[in-house]
Amino acid sequence: PLNGKYYTYRDWNTLSKLDVENWGSCYQWSKAESEKKAWEMIQSCNNRWKKEQQQSNINAETMLEMVALCPSFVFGPPPPLPSSLKNDKIRIRENNSSSYSLTLVNQWLRGNSQVQSRLCADVRDVALAHVAAGTMDLTTVATTDDGDFDPMERRYILSTEKRLSSELVSDALKRAVTRVQGQIGIEGRVLGDASIDMGKITCDTKFDGGAIKIGEREVEATERLEQDLGVVCRSVEETFQDMAEALLMGESF
């Protein structure tokens, strides 16, 4: 981090690179490079239009504007299946890819991999932030001394600020299992997935967070998200419990 403590909206990913042996690094590199190219395009177009405006009196409203949302790992409950498709889940699953976060949490629930500590954002908060960013009054965002907008002031880290330990994430998953397995239908059957054995849910207790330890502030996000976008990120416990409940109830593609 530039401040030596935690990441802010003025930090950029300078470590990830293209690596055929590491798809995660490629993915992270592509996100950072795509945002940089988008800002460059905005600046280039607006500089050109500013010259044309001076020459032809073009309305300033034609200038391009942009807000960048930079989420951490996105988790959260998937959207429910439309009622018209609930009887055709198998075909839907065969023809639609599942998100990595859904696959990961399913593995944790079934004991196929250890529960991990992740810095994360809830997909519902991500959605709210996109709506807010698309409708916000950009004239309230800080500009440079010459009146141009400062791209850095229109970047938002979209995330909770601290990692939750794998043990606490595991507790949230187990609460979801308990809640779902306690829901009995009219025929006396558990309404959700009754096959989950909570004893198989284990935690990765070796990972300590790396450069910024689990439980310490990893990013600065809360104040700006609430002040500028009106978005308050829900707790990590709520995110994982709601996500697990939705998966166990079969409420996903």
DSSP state of 226: I
Q: Is the per-residue pLDDT at 251 higher than 70? A: no
Beta-bridge partner residues of 120: 73
Q: What is the distance between the alpha carbons of residues 8 and 4, in angstroms, rounded to a whole number?
A: 11
State yes or no: pLDDT of 87 exceeds 90: no
What does the block give as tokens for 106? 């399913």
Lowest mean pLDDT among 60-74, 135-149, 197-211, 222-236: 135-149
| % of the chain residues with pLDDT over 90 | 61
Sorting pLDDT into bands at 50, 70 and 90, what band is 85?
A: low
- pLDDT top residue among 181 and 57: 181
- Say whether pLDDT at 193 is over 80: no
> What are the C-alpha distances in Å from 53 to residues 19, 44, 63, 192?
44, 14, 10, 61
Q: Is the pLDDT of residue 76 over 80?
A: yes
Least confident of 8-12, 111-115, 147-151: 147-151
Number of other CB atoms surrounding residue 115 within 10 Å: 27
Q: What does the alpha-carbon distance between residue 12 and residue 26 come to, in Å, rounded to a whole number?
A: 15
| Whether 172 contacts 244, CB under 8 Å | yes
Mean residue pLDDT of the chain comes to 85
Evaluate if residue 91 carries a pLDDT over 60. Answer: no
Q: Which residue has the tokens 């009054």?
A: 137
Contact 34, 69 (CB under 8 A): no
The whole-number pLDDT of residue 173 equals 96
Residue 44 token pair = 């280039």
The average pLDDT across 45-52 equals: 82
What's the whole-model pTM score?
0.85
Question: Is the pLDDT score of 194 beyond 80?
Answer: no
190 pLDDT more than 70:
no
Q: What is the pLDDT of residue 50?
A: 80
